[in-house]
Amino acid sequence: MLKKSVLIIVRAYLLKLKSFFLTKDVLSFLLFLAFSFAFWLVNTLDKEKETEIAIPLRYVGVPAQIDLTHTSTSWVKVTVKDKGINLFAYSSARIKAMTIDLQRNFNERGKIVLTSDEIHSKLSKYLLPTTSIIEIKPDSVVLSYEKLYAKHVPIQLNGKISTAQQYVLSSAVQLSPNRITIYGPQHLINKLQQVETTYFELTEIDGSRELILPLKPIKNIRFSSMETKLNVDAEMFTEKEMFFPVQVINYPPNSVVRTFPSHIKLRFNVGLSHFKHVSTRDIDVVLDFNKILKNKAESPTLEIINKSAYISNLRNEVSTVEYVIETN
């Protein structure tokens, strides 16, 4: 019952307030107040005012072999004068970094000084044409830098590449670029002989595949490129048999080593496009005489070396040979 009474009283007061604000006198007053505020706002925005704005600095055009080690400031504070309506363009939410291009001759001094005149010139292009510059703090910016050592190194693949069933690589894996220039302190550069890609897996390849691979970053080392493009081509294969000569290496001077047999038959898989082009230059069958002396083997084991990217699954029927040494 009490709750209902309270609601009736509140509703009665609300009706009275509504009746009051909808009277002609109150509406006229509110309209006058709105016009007055609009006139004051326009008058205020049309007057010239001074304000201080902080502008962040962004440096571009720094060569890869240059490292900025220190900047005296990353901001400039500028006192400007303009109409109030124009000063809204410099509110903190709208301020963007002022770009400073450092494309110039970096000398051995290791220091660049942006003078007051240079900063003023850049600000004139950054600010609105109607804006006047009253004061700039600081009046100059000092940049310290050092030249980095450079080295050209190869890119090493770090991943897994495999073809689909009945397929084989039709050519060597291609990287573009396959070498990059790295920049950094001399003691770090001297230790690096290559850079690696991030780990990847490229499986079930049954045609041409392309993949963009990021390079694995190295602390305090800068790369001329942060990625490389991998191209892999696969095609269906068939089996082929060929005879290859046995090559003897590291044999004694003034002597000739003859093997029996002198040629051995190999079976292997080869892509269809390369079937007719396989030659004895693609695979080496090697007998290393140093290993014969070391192991004192009468029937030494042959070493099969595949030098072709499009030949796989090598099988040999003969793994050992007999030999005779003829002295000249």
pLDDT over threshold 50, residue 322:
yes
* Per-residue tokens: 91: 């509110």
Together in a domain, 163 and 191: yes
> Contact 84/44 with Cβ under 8 angstroms?
yes
Cα–Cα distances in angstroms (integers) from residue 51 to residues 76, 77, 83, 127, in the given order:
14, 10, 11, 13
Shared domain for 98 and 126, answered yes or no, is: yes
**158-213, pLDDT tens digit by residue?**
999 999 999 988 888 999 999 999 999 889 999 999 999 999 999 999 999 999 99
Higher pLDDT pick, 6 / 136: 136
Would you give the distance in Å from CA 203 to the centre of its chain?
A: 24
Q: Could you tell me if 143 and 160 lie in one domain?
A: no
Asked whether residue 122 is domain-assigned, the answer is: yes
For the purposes of burial, counting CB atoms within 10 Å of the CB of 33, is it exposed (0-12), middle (13-18) or buried (19 or more)? exposed
The reported pTM is 0.60
In a domain, 82, yes or no: yes
Tell me the two tokens of residue 58: 């962004």
Give the C-alpha separation, 118 to 302, whole Å.
74
Is pLDDT above 80 for 275? yes
Phi then psi dihedrals of residue 188, to 5 deg: -85, -40
Which of 133, 129, 71 is closest to 102 using CA atoms?
A: 71
Lowest mean per-residue pLDDT among 173-177, 240-244, 324-328: 324-328
Residue 210: CB partners within 8 Å, gap ≥ 6? 229, 230, 231, 232
Domain closes at, from 147, 174, 199: 147
Domain co-membership, 167 together with 114: no
Domain boundary among 128, 147, 166: 147
| Residue 180 near residue 206, CB atoms below 8 Å | no
- Domain residue limits at 220: 149-236
Per-residue pLDDT at 264? 92
CA distances to 67, 111, 179, 181 from 147, in Å: 6, 11, 22, 14
CA–CA distance, 9 with 190 (Å, rounded to integer)? 89
Per-residue pLDDT tens digits for 78-113: 888 887 777 777 776 678 888 888 877 677 678 888
CATH number of the domain within which 319 lies: 2.170.120.30
Q: Pick the residue with more confidence: 218 or 15?
A: 218
Task: Report the pLDDT value the prediction gives residue 113, as an integer from 0 to 100.
Answer: 87
Q: Within a 10 A sphere around the Cβ of 143, how many other Cβ atoms?
A: 20
| Residues 6+ positions from 198 with CB-CB distance below 8 Å | 158, 213, 214, 215, 216
Residue 277 lies in a domain: yes
Reported in sequence order, the residue ranges of 102-148 that DSSP labels E, i.e. its strands, are 111-114, 132-137, 141-147
Q: Is residue 35 part of a domain?
A: no
Residue 36 within any structural domain of the chain: no
Domain assignment present for 80: yes
Q: What is the pLDDT of residue 39?
A: 47
Residue at which a domain ends, from 202, 236, 270: 236
In the predicted structure, residue 225 carries a pLDDT above the cut 50: yes
Average pLDDT in the chain:
83
123 and 154 in a single domain? The answer is no
Q: Are residues 118 and 59 in the same domain?
A: yes
- Residue 173 is part of a domain; what is its CATH number? 2.170.120.40
By three-state DSSP, how is residue 158 classified?
coil
- pLDDT for residue 37: 55
What proportion of the chain, given as a percentage, has pLDDT over 90?
Answer: 35
Clarify whether residues 143 and 153 are in a common domain: no
Whether 12 is covered by a domain: the verdict is no
**In this structure, what token pair is assigned to residue 50?**
């001074």
Q: Which pLDDT belongs to residue 319?
A: 82
Domain shared by 162 and 217, yes or no:
yes
pLDDT tens digits, one per residue of 109-129: 788 888 888 888 888 888 888
- Write down the pLDDT at residue 16: 58
CB 154 within 8 A of CB 179: yes
Residues 130 and 159 in one domain: no
14-38, pLDDT tens digit by residue? 555 555 555 555 555 556 555 555 5
Q: Are residues 131 and 168 in the same domain?
A: no
176 and 143 within one domain: no
Query: Is residue 130 a part of any domain in this protein?
Result: yes
> Rounded mean pLDDT of 268-272?
92
Least confident of 8-12, 33-37, 52-56: 33-37
Q: Kindly state whether residues 56 and 136 are assigned to the same domain.
A: yes
Report the number of distinct structural domains present in the chain: 3
